[in-house]
Structures are given as structure tokens and as C-alpha cells.
Structure 1
Amino acid sequence: MKFFPLLLLLVAAAPAAHAQKALSETEAVKQIVTAFFDGMRRGDSTAVRRTLAPAAVFHGFSGKPGQPPTLEIEAINGFLKAVGTPHPEIWDERVQFERVLIDANLASVWAPYEFYLGSKFSHCGYDSFQLVKLADGWKIAHIIDTRRKEKCK
């Protein structure tokens, strides 16, 4: 009879342990995305590069009013060079983690953002990140975003 309460305790604890693991993975994914933007704010291209998977891909999806949107590939090395080149204003992309989905070694982050040059608002949109969990942890494999100046907040 003493076996039953122990079994009940183990069965009850299993979902909590799973939820705690899932939460820690979610936090790990958020930390990588946050580290990406922290590096960008500091103008530290080395810190930004550490968040990226080998062969990462960036896409931008935007358009001018009255014109169809375009999908553009952004060169990673060009982006990193721009981040690391001194510029007068801090590049401050402020994201909110609206949704984080994880399955095994794949994560997807959906995040609305506002971008500021120093304290001046520039544009807004949504970032979509695809991350992979490699031997050294979560890394950003793909970023695609929308960009607009109107209909922000």
C-alpha cells in the first residue's frame, strides 16, 4: 500500500518536470534573440555573429506605399560589417516575444518590433526567427521581417 502514494507522486511530478524543461528551452531561445539585439545595440558584430548558425539567412519583406511588397535577401557579412562600423546613433530594435514554438532542435519566434535610431522612431514590423539547437546551443538560422512606418502600435 505504501507503493501507491509514491507512484501517484511520481505521476503528478512528471508534467511539472516537462513544463519546467520546456520553459527553460523557451528562455534559452529568447536569450539568443535578445543577445542578437543587445550586440546590435552595442555595435558589437562579434557578439551578433555568435548568435548565428553557420549559413544563416536574412530576408527583408517590405514595400513602398502603393507598390507590391518585395522580398530581399540581406548579406550576413554586410549586415555584420554595418553593425560593427561606428555610427552616430544606436540601432535599437525593441522586440516583444509574442510567440515561441519549439519542437526538439527547432524553434520559431514571432516577435513584433519597433526600431529606433537613437531615440528617434524609424519603423516597425514583425520579426520571424527560425533557430536550431546545435552542439553549442541555440543559434539563429533564419530571420525574415516586415518593415513599415505606418500602422505601428
Structure 2
Amino acid sequence: MSATQTIHFYDRSVFTEEERAILQVAENFLNGIGNRDKALMSEQVLPSGGAVLMRNGAPIFTTLSGVIDRIPFDSPNKIEERISGQPVVRIDHSIAMAWTPYDFLINDKLDHFGTDIWSFAKLDGKWLVSSVADNARTPDTANQH
């Protein structure tokens, strides 16, 4: 299987170098999904960092390692999650956040979409995901709040 390449559906030129570095961590994590590269995903996170995944109106609480374990790496289907709209990034010294709209595709067809809210911590000069929260809507529930 060939590695997926990041396709930017947003304008990277509006971000500072540090903001782009933060977005790159998120993109590396998402590229790990399409590339079926658990190690790449794990390199981007604080493993015991937290996650809240809103599914069907109910939260799933897990660690970032738990998020990675939820990815169906053994599925025969092509899977991809990508940032699908213009992100918002904010930085305060050694912490940061990014708000990124996303699309999740299975075999190049939209399965669900939503927003990822990433928190980052800068350790030894490197940004790592410290937590994530997301929601997920299917195309048939797009207009429901």
C-alpha cells in the first residue's frame, strides 16, 4: 500500500511557522490512519493524554493510546481522516490548541465528519498532542445539532 500524502484543504500561508508545526503534528497523526502506521500516530501523542469522543450524543472517555487502538488497522477498506476546513490555532508558550474540521472517508466515500479539538504540550522543543475531543456526524444527520 502506498503512503497517503497530505492534501491541504485549507490555507497554510496564514499560519506562523510555530502554528504550522502544531498543525503538522495533527496531520502526522491523521496520516497514520491512512498509512496504517500506528507507530507514526503514537509518536505524535502523550500516550496517557485524554480523549473525549462524542458518539451519538454520548461521550466515550479514553486515552490517546485508546484512540489509536480504536483505528481498524486490519480492515481491508481504505480509511482516511483529513482536515477538511480552515483550522484555528492558538498558542500560549508551552501549550496550544487547534480546532480542525475533519472528514473521515472509507473507500474514498464520506463516512462521517465533525470537528477535532486538539490540545498540545511542548516538551523538549517538540509539540505533542496532550488531549483531543471530537464529535462525529454522518451525512444523513448533518443538520442535526
Pair in the same fold by TM > 0.5: yes
- Conserved in 2, the CA contact under 8 Å of 1:99 and 1:110? yes
* Larger helix share, 1 or 2: 1
Task: Please say if 1:39 is aligned against 2:27.
Answer: no
Asked if 1 retains the 8 angstrom alpha-carbon contact of 2:95 and 2:120, the reply is yes
User: After TM superposition, which residue ranges in structure 1, 4 or more long, deviate above 6 angstroms?
Assistant: none
Percent identity, please. Answer: 22
- Residue 54 of structure 1 and its aligned partner are, at CA, apart by 4.1
Query: Gaps (5+ residues) in structure 1?
Result: 1-21, 64-68
Superposed CA offset, 1:3-49 (max 9, x none): xxxxxxxxxxxxxxxxxxx8111011011001001111111100000
Task: Name stretches of at least 5 consecutive residues in structure 2 with no aligned partner.
Answer: 1-14
Q: Does 1:80 align with 2:71?
A: no
Aligned to 1:26: 19
Structure 1 position 151 matched with structure 2 position 139: no
Larger radius of gyration: 1
Alignment TM-score, normalising by the size of structure 1: 0.74
Q: Does 2:39 correspond to 1:50?
A: no
* TM-score, normalising length: structure 2: 0.78
| CA distance in 1 between partners of 2:18 and 2:96 (Å) | 9
Q: Is the 8 A contact 2:49 2:63 kept in 1?
A: no
Q: Given that residues 116 and 133 in structure 2 are in contact (C-alpha distance below 8 angstroms), is that contact kept between their aligned partners in structure 1? A: yes
Q: 1:122 to 1:106 in 2, by over 3 A?
A: same
Q: Which shifted more, 95-104 or 78-87?
A: 78-87
Contact 2:47 2:63 in 1 (8 A): no
Equivalent position to 1:62, from 38, 55, 67 = 55
